[in-house]
Structure 1
Amino acid sequence: MKSRKDIVLDIHEKPSAINWFSLSFQHLFAMFGATVLVPFLTGLSPAVALISSGLGTLAFLLITRGQVPAYLGSSFAFIAPIISAQALGGPEAAMLGSFLSGIVYAIVALIIKGVGHKWLMRLLPPVVVGPIIIVIGLGLAGTAVNMAMLENPGDSTTYSLLHFSAALVTLLLVIGFSVFLKKGFLSLIPVLLGIVGGYIYSIFVGLVNFNLVLDAKWFQIPEFVTFYTGVDFSWTIVALMVPVAIVTLSEHIGHQMVLSKVVERDLIQKPGLHRSIMGDGVATIIASLIGGPPNTTYGENIGVLAITKVYSVFVIAGAAIFAIAFGFIGKISALISSIPTPVMGGVSILLFGIIASSGLRMMIDSKVNLAINRNLIVSSVILVIGIGGAMLKFSNSFELHGMALAAILGIILNVILPGREEVAGDMYNIGKKSA
Structure 2
Amino acid sequence: MPKPTTDESLPPMRAGERECRAGGEQYCLSPLPAPTDSEHGVDVAHIDVRHDEATMDLRQGASPESLLITGHVASGLGIFILGIGAFLLLLAFFGGGLPLATIPWWFGVAYGISLFPFFTGILFPDVVLKRIPPIRLHRQRREVAFVVDIPGRRFWLPDPTNMWLMAINGPIAMVTGYYTIWEFAEFLRPGVEAAFPIKMPLLHIASLAFLPLYPHFHDFCRKLVGQQRQTVLVPWEDVIAVCGFNPSLSAGGVTGFGWNFALMPPDPERPGYTLPGAGIIVGVGGLPGALAQWEYIRRFMEEGPEAITPSAREWGLEWYDAQVARERERYERTNDQRRWQRFRREQWWNHARFAHWYTEYRMKHVLPRAVPRDWLAEWSRPLPEAQWARPSRPLTELSEHLRATYQRGEPFVEMGNVEQRFSVEVEPPPRKAYPTLPFAANAP
TM-score (norm 2): 0.21
Relative CO higher for 1 or 2, CA cutoff 8 Å, sep ≥ 6?
A: 1
Structure with bigger helix share is 1
Structure with bigger strand share is 2
